[in-house]
Amino acid sequence: MPTYLTIDVGGTHIKYALMQENGGLTQAGHVPTPPKSLDQFFESIFSIIDQYQEKIEGVAFSVPGKVDSQTGTIYFGGALTYLDQVCLKEVIKERYGLRASVQNDAKAAALAELWLGSLQGVQDAAVIVLGTGVGGGIILDGKLRLGPHFQAGELSLSILDASLPGFHKMTGLIGSAVHMISQVNKAVGHEDLKDGRAAFEAIRAGHQGALDIFQAYCRKLVYLIVNLQAFYDLTHYTIGGGISAQPILIEEIKRQFQLFLEEEPAIKMNFPDITILPARFGNDANLYGALYTLLEGR
């Protein structure tokens, strides 16, 4: 069975793994992501590929930023602005003679769920990825929607509270898991504001300040789901990102959803039954979605 190298470029680490076309994953590892230098980025990427080039049939990338998955070109690059205008597909082809694919990280997570995860056989769905911002992927008629500007599913750019100033009104901050965790830790007096484990311990323990922040956060995610439902008429919503591994998150989103419908009878009357569920894949989701992109492009 052919073997492929999958590479997930994140803001902190570049993760990689050897994978087979059935989704089997082996020899995973990671290296630090260079924060500012494109030359150092390519040094890191080439050092990974050099280890495996004799064993693989192609290289599949998941990256931040807008991505033209047909040409393999990255635009803006998210936090890694040096990736703007980089055509990874051509770089890999010219240097190694290998096929390559490039996919946006959140869309890769959505494809992982569509291929082997919670959305197998589902025709119309959204994957909402909760992290530093809010990424997403929209599945329509069984296919990932890219859009003419490659921005379909860029949920961080939507507005959830127009009464707030600047970026504070946008889903990227309001729905940020990192921001919510920071608020909870600050409320309970925990010094490490980035400590997700401590934040959820406080939430599960029923600390009132932590609960208030968490419940308000989940209510805002419900508003996002309601808006998406009005736009796309979907059947399933999969919640991804690191915090989706916390069962209390999905439980509270569902609870807030039911509370919202009871408070808004006119909306409830017109709202179909939908399924809200956690993503199957955790931190490896982008690797699976990247490989799916490569396999589909054969």
Tell how far CA 38 is from the center of its chain: 23
Do the beta carbons of residue 218 and residue 160 sit within 8 Å? no
Average pLDDT over residues 199-223: 98
58 with 197, same domain: the answer is: no
Q: Identify the band that residue 11 occupies on the pLDDT scale cut at 50, 70 and 90.
A: confident
DSSP 155: G
85 with 127, same domain: the answer is: no
19 with 92, same domain: the answer is: yes
104 with 125, same domain: the answer is: no
Q: Can you give the CATH number for the domain in which 99 is found?
A: 3.30.420.40
Residue range of the domain that includes 179: 121-278
Mean pLDDT of the chain: 95
Is 247 domain-assigned? Answer: yes
257 with 191, same domain: the answer is: yes
105 with 158, same domain: the answer is: no
pLDDT for position 5: 98
What is the tens place of the pLDDT at every residue in 45-79? 999 999 999 999 999 999 999 999 999 999 999 88
150 with 230, same domain: the answer is: yes
Strands (E), the chain: 3-9, 13-20, 25-32, 58-63, 66-68, 73-75, 99-104, 125-130, 134-140, 143-144, 236-240, 275-278
157 with 238, same domain: the answer is: yes
Is 158 domain-assigned? Answer: yes
Do the beta carbons of residue 64 and residue 82 sit within 8 Å? no
pLDDT for position 12: 87
Q: Identify the band that residue 174 occupies on the pLDDT scale cut at 50, 70 and 90.
A: very high
229 with 170, same domain: the answer is: yes
186 with 230, same domain: the answer is: yes
pTM: 0.93
pLDDT for position 282: 81
What residues are paired with 6 via a beta bridge?
17, 60
What is the tens place of the pLDDT at every residue in 257-276? 999 999 999 999 999 999 99
- What single string gives the DSSP state of each residue in 226-282? HHHHHHH--SEEEEESGGGG-HHHHHHHHHHHHHHHHH-HHHHHHPPP-EEEE-S-S
pLDDT for position 26: 87
Is 115 domain-assigned? Answer: no
pLDDT for position 33: 95
Alpha-carbon distance of 249 to 285, in angstroms, equals 19
- Please tell me the total count of domains within the chain: 2
Do the beta carbons of residue 116 and residue 77 sit within 8 Å? no
What is the tens place of the pLDDT at every residue in 108-142? 999 999 999 999 999 999 999 999 899 999 999 99
What residues are paired with 5 via a beta bridge?
18, 59
